[in-house]
Amino acid sequence: MSDGFGSLEGKRALVTGAARGIGRAIANELASAGAEVLCCDLPGTGETEDVAREVGGRALYADVTKADDVEKLIADAGEIDFLINNAGITRDGLLARMSEEDWRAVIDINLTSVFLMCHAAIRGMMKRRSGSIVNLSSVVGLHGNFGQTNYAASKAGIVGFTKSLAREAGTRGVRVNAIAPGYIETRLTDVLPDEVKQTMLKATSLGRFGQPEDVARAVRFLCSDAAAFVTGEVLVVDGGMAM
């Protein structure tokens, strides 16, 4: 590779939430850099097979909130060099009206899943004294957002988790970082009202919405040797929105 990031040939990556959106772009980016990519999504998500075919990798199915699924997923995956915890959801609403179910669902899928995945994968990585974990946070986790107390709490939790695990795993050769995207055009953001989209656009210095590929390139950087001395970092990829 001549882009300065180096080849990822001979490396294996596991990407959760890979069936669409940012996860799909990450799978493509890592595969184009030479990595073998294992694409994980919920059972019954047919698009996972398409993505796996697209990237010449394997489709694996798991609900990342379920410890048994996650243990099996990591066992099926074999030795992994890169773990990308990307699966996530929103259940927006004002706190005064938020149900406990919407609170728990978001914390479970966005944050507890990161604990379960890292818990299952970290021992193998530390034993091999190498690995890079990238967790998908959000600018909302750094700055908060109207109607997103559950989502903001889950994404802020990822920041604290990432920095703590980076401290624990650093001397064992494992790097742990987070990415905090701004507004990225995917199915997750498609449902937002037009006026919210326009407000986001106005606040974005680069004057455009982010694309899944913008995030994927940052993930590739954090996996690559170009980031060999980067750990415990939160890389903001938001086009200059949350400055």
Parallel/antiparallel/unpaired status of strands 131-136 and 82-85: parallel
Evaluated on CA atoms 196, 152, 238, 26, the torsion sign reads: negative
Q: How far is the CB of 7 from ligand NAD (least distance, A)?
A: 26
Q: By rule CB under 6 A, what string of x and - marks binding of each residue 63-82 to ligand NAD?
A: xxx-----------------
Evaluated on CA atoms 115, 120, 123, 128, the torsion sign reads: negative
User: From edge to edge, which strands make up the β-sheet containing 82-85?
Assistant: 58-61, 36-41, 12-16, 82-85, 131-136, 174-181, 234-237
Distance in angstroms (rounded) separating the CA atoms of residues 11 and 223: 10
Q: What is the DSSP letter of 115?
A: H
Specify the residue, 8 or 241, whose C-beta has the smaller distance to ligand NAD.
Answer: 241
Specify the residue, 52 or 87, whose C-beta has the smaller distance to ligand NAD.
Answer: 87
Q: Answer yes or no: 183 catalytic.
A: no
Q: What is the DSSP letter of 173?
A: T
Within residues 121-150, the interface with ligand NAD by CB under 6 A covers 136, 138
Kindly calculate the radius of gyration of the chain based on its CA atoms and give it in whole angstroms: 17
Residue 21 binding ligand NAD, by CB under 6 A:
yes
Question: Could you tell me the two tokens for 184?
Answer: 């990225």
Q: Which of 29, 31, 60, 86 binds ligand NAD (CB under 6 A)?
A: 86
Amino acid code (one letter) for 14: L
The residue range among 161-169, 184-192, 216-224, 225-233 that interacts with ligand NAD, by the rule CB under 6 A, is 184-192
The residue range among 20-28, 49-57, 142-150, 166-174 that interacts with ligand NAD, by the rule CB under 6 A, is 20-28
Specify the residue, 34 or 160, whose C-beta has the smaller distance to ligand NAD.
Answer: 160
Bridge partners of 82? 13, 132
Q: Which of 19, 59, 60, 176 binds ligand NAD (CB under 6 A)?
A: 19
Residues marked active site are found at: 151
Contact residues for ligand NAD, defined by CB under 6 A: 16-17, 19-23, 41-42, 45, 63-65, 86-89, 109, 136, 138, 181, 183-184, 186-189
